[in-house]
Amino acid sequence: MTPYDRTVSAGEPPAPIPGARLLFSIDPGVSYLNHGSFGAVPIGVQRAQQRLRDEIESNPLRFFTQGLSDRVVHTRRHIAAFLGADPEGSALVANATTGASIVLNSVRLESADEVLLTDHSYGAVAIAARRRCRRAGATVRTVALPLAASDAEVVSRIRTALRPGRTKLLIIDQLSSATAMTFPVRAITAAAHEHDIPVLVDAAHVPGMLPVDVDSIKADFWVGNLHKWAFAPRGTALLSVAQQWRRRIEPPVVSWDQELGYPQSVEHQGTLDLTPWLAAPTGLFTLRTLGWDTVRGHNAALAAYGQRVVGAALGARELPEPGDNEVSMRIVPLPAGLASTPPEAQALRTHIADKLAVETAVNAWGGRGLLRLSAQVYNRPEEYDRLAERLPELLHDYRR
């Protein structure tokens, strides 16, 4: 392994955003370099959600029966406007995986049909697709997309993999979780629509990280989490559905608003805790107050810095480019033989956390371990420096 040398490998990191670290309750004894997995809710948003919880408990009947639907609609419109989505075609859901399951259960599948994924698809979405296909007697097929593939190559490979008449749904990530790669979803959608194949864009990491105009993508379905990069409480996502599909959407639970149709039929599920949704606009307010361009620029530059210093420390010869320099997550390939399976990846992530007090994401992809580093406004360059200094020795000892 190459000795760590910040001056040679990394260049200058971005300057911190003044006061941003104080907005979060992250344990100061932990370097939290894994915002991408579960996000981190600003203190002000936590308090806004707690006020909503207090409101519920002060009079539960009043909260659930007087004006709640209007509040949900107002919140949905606010979030949809932020994302460039049609509010009448949007529904608030718990997370991107929930949205993907709703879509899978709403697309008709028969025994000769298939759902097409890529090898970058999120694990839980792939599991949901396999279960849905198993029940219908259909199949799941996966197209391989190399880490270094250009946008043109990605579109070409997917176009070649499509089977008109058999492919009933294409699921494509806008920004993949395990590999932190962006994909040209607008061009991919257009290619699929040449054969009338519907497209679900899994944009779990996009809201708050990347600028997006959902309607301009023209996908049949698009779903993104607000609780990762848009500072919303966990359990907040938006599912956008094209006009021609809205009457076919099957909600996960049938409740009192079923006859109203989509989106109310999806959003109304009895005593579901809606405080994350109602507090989400406070998260967007926090993002705007910090300056969204400032946050995005800081996070992207810091993630790139972290990738460079840790990659240099591990002697990585090539560091995968994400396809979009604005992303706030970067991956560093681990030495061969480490974290090559999901259980091994989970064990290594836990070991790094326990021994170094650093939270990261470790994923197994294509038989290779990938260390994923996130950057958020509460992170500092020295956190990545310390990881770079200590990780090589830890991995050396771990392999023995």
pLDDT tens across 290-343, in order?
999 999 999 999 999 999 999 999 999 889 999 889 999 999 999 999 999 999
Indicate whether 192 pLDDT > 80.
yes
Q: pLDDT band at 243, cuts 50/70/90? A: very high
Strand, coil or helix: what is 6? helix
Residue 207 scores a pLDDT above 50: yes
CA–CA separation, 207 and 200 (whole Å): 16
pTM: 0.95
| pLDDT given for residue 11 in this prediction | 67
pLDDT of residue 8: 35
- Residue 44 tokens, joined: 């002000």
Rounded percentage of the chain residues whose pLDDT exceeds 70: 97
Cis peptide before 263 (omega within 30 of 0): yes
Per DSSP, the three-state class of 227 is coil
Helix (H) or strand (E) holding 140: strand 139-143
Band of pLDDT at residue 10, cut at 50, 70 and 90: low
The residue with greater pLDDT, 256 or 110, is: 110
pLDDT in tens, 163-184: 999 999 999 999 999 999 999 9
CA angle, 360 as apex, 278 and 394 as ends, to 5°?
165
Whether residue 278 has pLDDT greater than 50: yes
Helices marked H in 87-150: 96-106, 123-136
Domains and CATH numbers, the chain: 20-41+291-399 (3.90.1150.10), 67-286 (3.40.640.10)
What does the pLDDT look like over 103-120, one tens digit per residue? Answer: 999 999 999 999 999 999
